[in-house]
Amino acid sequence: MGHRYQSWLRRHDIYLTDLITWWKDLIPWSKRPDIAFTPDMVHTAYRILSNFEPVYIFRKKGEREVPSEDIVLKSRLTKEQWLAWTPGLWAIKPVQNQIGHPTIYPDELCTRLITMFSYQGDLVLDPFLGSGTTVKVARELSREAVGYERELQYKQTIMDKLGIGTQGSSSPIVEAMAKRFGEFKEPQKMKDADEIVMTRSDVDNMEMVFGASDDYKDDSQAA
């Protein structure tokens, strides 16, 4: 993580608090000729396969606003979810058919993060929308969700995933998204984002989700 980005996080009282390792299944990789085991493979020239990806959990210092008791009860994890999701190693199969976008995240990854770190009715923002998985899953989990994507080539993929027509912008969903976009144009306006969840395979492939967190009152944490 770059020094300038770390400085921005500290300036806005946002700190790295947890790290999840997303472990991926290697079965699809075995079919790739560039990395598959062959008789011609040169000894000592083996490649280490990146079959994992880090998921960084950032929290904003201070006490977040807690919704009504009814919303809290609806949003809490079950005991089974807690047992399965709180360990730091998540074995989730990646999307095998990357159609419409080269790095589509599995629904399960987004489901866990959004369920764990937001309440029902919260706003989830994905400023690197990609194929639209984050927004799709967030809405299925009774959250509001919007996202940004600067690459126009992925527009149809996003529209198809979200079930939004491409004829104009008269759709109530599109209008709602456009209205929300205006609230997050500059980093300085992201003061109400209590939780940042970031997954990254490299600098050019980054997805961040701004949602809500559990109470966080530790003033001693530093990135």
Tell me the mean pLDDT in the region 147-170: 81
- Domain membership flag for residue 135: yes
DSSP letter for each residue of 30-68: GG-TTTS--TTPPTT-PPPP--EEEEEEEEESB-PPP--
Spatial distance between the Cα atoms of 222 and 141, rounded to a whole number of angstroms:
31
Q: What is the mean pLDDT of the chain?
A: 77
Query: Is residue 157 within 8 Å of residue 147, measured between CB atoms?
Result: no
Do the domain assignments include residue 218? no
Domain range enclosing 135 = 3-211
pLDDT of res. 108: 97
Q: Which two tokens stand for residue 121?
A: 């009715």
Q: Which two tokens stand for residue 164?
A: 């939004």
In a domain, 221, yes or no: no
The answer to whether the CB of 109 falls within 8 A of the CB of 92 is yes
Asked if residue 51 belongs to a domain, the reply is yes
Q: Max alpha carbon distance in the chain (Å)?
A: 64
Total of domains in the chain: 1
Within-domain flag for 20: yes
Q: DSSP readout, 68-110?
A: -HHHHHHHSPPHHHHHHHSSSEEE-PPPS---SSSSPPPHHHH
Decide if 216 is inside a domain. no
Residue 173 sits in a domain of what CATH number?
A: 3.40.50
Nearest in space to 123 (alpha carbons), one of 46, 50, 195 = 195
**Is 120 inside any structural domain?**
yes
How many whole angstroms separate alpha carbon 1 and alpha carbon 39?
39
Q: Which residue has the higher pLDDT, 22 or 45?
A: 22
What is the model's pLDDT at position 207? 36
33-72 per-position pLDDT tens digit = 667 778 888 899 887 888 899 999 998 888 889 999 999 9
* Residue 210 CB partners (closer than 8 Å, separation 6+): 123, 124, 125, 126, 127, 184, 190, 193, 195, 196
Whether 222 is in a domain gets the answer: no
DSSP secondary structure code for residue 201 in this structure = E
Q: What is the pLDDT of residues 127-155, one digit of tens each?
A: 999 999 999 999 999 999 999 999 999 99
CB 20 within 8 A of CB 90: yes
Query: With 90 as the cut, is the pLDDT of residue 28 above it?
Result: no
Instruction: Give the up-direction half-sphere exposure of residue 43: CA atoms within 13 A in the CB hemisphere.
Output: 0
State whether the Cα torsion 111-112-118-120 is positive or negative. Answer: positive
Helix (H) or strand (E) holding 146: strand 144-147
More confident residue, 21 or 182: 21
Spatial distance between the Cα atoms of 189 and 22, rounded to a whole number of angstroms = 30
**Whole-structure pTM value:** 0.70
